[in-house]
C-alpha cells in the first residue's frame, strides 16, 4: 500500500493590534489558531511589523502619539505593492492617496509636448510621494508617478485622512510639515535649476539621495539634473580625478 502523508495543518495568523509604540520599536501580538505557524508566514509578518515601525518612526519625528492614536492611524493604512515600471499615478488621473515608501524607489515626472521626460523627484524608503495639489483639491494630476524598482507602499486615502485629522488633530501638524517640506523642496529645486551649475546640481543630488546612484540608471539621474548622460559621465570623471 502507498503510504499517505498526513494532511497539512492550516494556520491562521491574525494581528490583534499594536500593544506599544516608541520611536524604535513596535510590538504586535499574534493570535495563533495552532501552536506553530509556517516560517513564510512569520517572515511576512515580520516585514509588515518593520513597515509599520518605519512609518511610525517617520511620524514620530514631528509628533508624539499615544498607543490608541498610533493604533487608529495604522488601522487606516492600506498596503500596496508595485512592480518595476508600474504606475502609481498617471497624468489626468486624480491622486487618491498619500503614499509612504517602505521598500523600493519611485519617481515623479512630467512629459512635455515633444515627448521628453522631466523628473521632478525620487522617493526611496522613508519618503512620502504623491501629488499634493491634486490630492487635496481632488483634481486631475499633471504628473506621472511610477516605480523604478519593485516597491512597497503604505497608503492613506483622502476619506481616511480626513477622518484621521478629525480624530487625531495632531496629524494636522504632521501633514502640514510634510507638505510644507515638499513645497520648500520644490522651490529649492527651481532655484538650483536656475542658478546652479550642472556639477553643483549633481553634488546636491548625491547629498540628498545618498547611494541612490547605485540603484537607478545614469539616464534617470541625467534627466533629473536636466543634462545628457554623456555630460553626466564627464562630470563624474572630473570629480573622480579631483
| pLDDT, tens digit (0-9, with 9 covering 90-100), for 191-219 | 888 899 999 999 999 998 988 999 999 99
Domains of the chain, each with CATH number or no CATH: 13-72 (no CATH), 77-166 (2.60.120.10)
Instruction: Look at residue 127 in the predicted model and tell me its pLDDT.
Output: 95
Please, what is the average pLDDT of the chain?
Answer: 84
| pLDDT, tens digit (0-9, with 9 covering 90-100), for 98-109 | 999 999 999 999
For the chain, what's the residue count?
Answer: 242
Instruction: Look at residue 190 in the predicted model and tell me its pLDDT.
Output: 86
pTM for the predicted model, two decimal places: 0.80
| pLDDT, tens digit (0-9, with 9 covering 90-100), for 19-69 | 343 333 444 334 434 444 454 444 455 667 888 999 999 999 999 999 999
Strand segments (E) across the chain: 13-21, 26-32, 78-82, 87-89, 97-103, 106-111, 117-123, 128-129, 144-147, 151-157
Instruction: Look at residue 84 in the predicted model and tell me its pLDDT.
Output: 97
Helix, strand, coil percent content, the chain, rounded in steps of 5: 45, 25, 30
Q: Is residue 115 over pLDDT 80?
A: yes
Average pLDDT of 75-89? 97
Amino acid at each position: 500500500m502507498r503510504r499517505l502523508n498526513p494532511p497539512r495543518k492550516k494556520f491562521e495568523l491574525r494581528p490583534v493590534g499594536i500593544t506599544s509604540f516608541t520611536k524604535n520599536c513596535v510590538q504586535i501580538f499574534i493570535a495563533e489558531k495552532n501552536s506553530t505557524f509556517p516560517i513564510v508566514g512569520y517572515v511576512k509578518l515580520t516585514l509588515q511589523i518593520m513597515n509599520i515601525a518605519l512609518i511610525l518612526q517617520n511620524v514620530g519625528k514631528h509628533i508624539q502619539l499615544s498607543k490608541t492614536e498610533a493604533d487608529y492611524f495604522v488601522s487606516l493604512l492600506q498596503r500596496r505593492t508595485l512592480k518595476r515600471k508600474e504606475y502609481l499615478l498617471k497624468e489626468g488621473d486624480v491622486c487618491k492617496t498619500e503614499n509612504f515608501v517602505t521598500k523600493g524607489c519611485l519617481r515623479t515626472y512630467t512629459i512635455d509636448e515633444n515627448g521628453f521626460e522631466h523628473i521632478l523627484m525620487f522617493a526611496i524608503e522613508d519618503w512620502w510621494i504623491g501629488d499634493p495639489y491634486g490630492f487635496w483639491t481632488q483634481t486631475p494630476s499633471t504628473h506621472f508617478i511610477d516605480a523604478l524598482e519593485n516597491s512597497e507602499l503604505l497608503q492613506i486615502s483622502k476619506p481616511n485622512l480626513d477622518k484621521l485629522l478629525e480624530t487625531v488633530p495632531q496629524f494636522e501638524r504632521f501633514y502640514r510639515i510634510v507638505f510644507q517640506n515638499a513645497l520648500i523642496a520644490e522651490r529649492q529645486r527651481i532655484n538650483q535649476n536656475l542658478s546652479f551649475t550642472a556639477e553643483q546640481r549633481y553634488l546636491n543630488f548625491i547629498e540628498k539621495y545618498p547611494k541612490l546612484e547605485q540603484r537607478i540608471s545614469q539616464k534617470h539621474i541625467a534627466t533629473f539634473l536636466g543634462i545628457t548622460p554623456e555630460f553626466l559621465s564627464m562630470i563624474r570623471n572630473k570629480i573622480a580625478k579631483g
